[in-house]
A and B are shown apart, each in its own frame.
Chain A
Amino acid sequence: MSIWEYANPVRFMRLSDRVLPWLAALSAIVMLVALVWGFFFTPDDYRQGSTVKIIFIHVPAAMIAINAWVMMLVASLIWLVRRHHVSALAAKAAAPVGAVMTMIALVTGAVWGEPMWGTWWAWDPRLTSFLILFLFYLGYIALWAAIDNPDTAADLTSVLAIVGSVFAVLSRYAALIWNQGLHQGASLSMDRAEHVADVFYYPLVTAIVGFILLFVTLVVLRTRTEIRARRLRALLARESRE
């Protein structure tokens, strides 16, 4: 069986109908475990005090903010090359989730920054690239809403997804590329010596898994909504012609 068979909306709806309740339950459980673990059962950091607990929301949200755009980029490329409607609708479905995750990263980052850096905001490379990424999300959502023809909207938003991917990559690597500003480098690294301490690392990884599951759940749910909206639009158009 090929993965492309799920590009068929009927097959996608049938499979997602079975998978979605399990996915939703699993993401709720993992999120709950991770946030309770991180908030209640981790110690204060010797430098940052209890503000270190913000890491369990801030870092997973920031990771999803970047990777949601990467997912939208892949889905958009599939649309442009293979013209599968489900992939275009999945990209559309992911955008509000990515936008909210970017907003969470920006807000929790500001709240964390004020006591640690003495400011809510700085025009630091990573903060600025995240703000631009957030504006790209808003532009992408607005472009879908502004164009009546869904295929034209999918084409144009796919181009925007390709252009915006530059800022998704910059958001990830800005702190390394410019090597300046207030924001620290990555909290997680392939090099174990550069990780945060184990007492924070395990709940952080659990929180990241929880946020990934939440993202997948919401994208599947919202893709189903978009498929229904598309069918509704087609039925109404047929009705108005008769």
Chain B
Amino acid sequence: MMPDLGKYALWVLSAYGAGLVLIAALVIQSIWRDRKMARLLAEIEARQKRSGGRHG
């Protein structure tokens, strides 16, 4: 299944490897930060709702 990349195999695989690793890192970091921010926001909103309920 693997194509014969000949004498340039190292270069082609390195380019694909580097590109895909950078894309994967960007996607994972984007999802991780979005989830973290959503969780923090939900916590703060819940906390403020509770304290608002107590005072109100």
What residues make up the interface of A, taking CB atoms closer than 8 Å to B?
Answer: 35, 39-40, 44, 49-51, 53-54, 57-58, 61, 96-97, 100, 103-104, 107-108, 111-112, 114-115, 214, 218, 221-222, 224-225, 228-229, 231-232, 235-236, 238-239
Are A51 and B12 in touch, CB under 8 angstroms?
Answer: yes
Contacts A51-B11, A104-B19, A229-B37 known; A218 to B48 CB distance under 8 Å?
A: no
Are A221 and B30 in touch, CB under 8 angstroms?
Answer: yes
Are A100 and B26 in touch, CB under 8 angstroms?
Answer: yes
Shortest Cβ distance from A83 into chain B, in angstroms?
A: 23
Shortest Cβ distance from A42 into chain B, in angstroms?
A: 9
Are B6 and A225 in touch, CB under 8 angstroms?
Answer: no
Q: How large is the interface on B (under 10, 10 to 19, 20 to 34, 35 or more residues)?
A: 20 to 34
Are A104 and B22 in touch, CB under 8 angstroms?
Answer: yes
In the complex the two chains form, what is the Cα distance from A111 to B22 in whole Å? 15
Partner of A100, one of B4, B23, B33: B23
Contacts A51-B11, A214-B23 known; A235 to B18 CB distance under 8 Å?
A: no
Could you list 11 A-B pairs, sorted by A, with CB under 8 Å?
A39-B16, A49-B8, A50-B5, A51-B11, A54-B11, A58-B15, A112-B11, A214-B23, A221-B34, A222-B30, A239-B48
In the complex the two chains form, what is the Cα distance from A235 to B40 in whole Å? 11
Are A103 and B34 in touch, CB under 8 angstroms?
Answer: no
Complex interface: chain B residues within 8 A of A218 (CB): 26-27, 30
Complex interface: chain B residues within 8 A of A115 (CB): 8, 11
| Interface residue B7 (Cβ < 8 Å from any Cβ of A) | yes
Of listed A53, A111, A115, A232, residue having the most chain B CB within 10 A: A111
In the complex the two chains form, what is the Cα distance from A224 to B15 in whole Å? 31
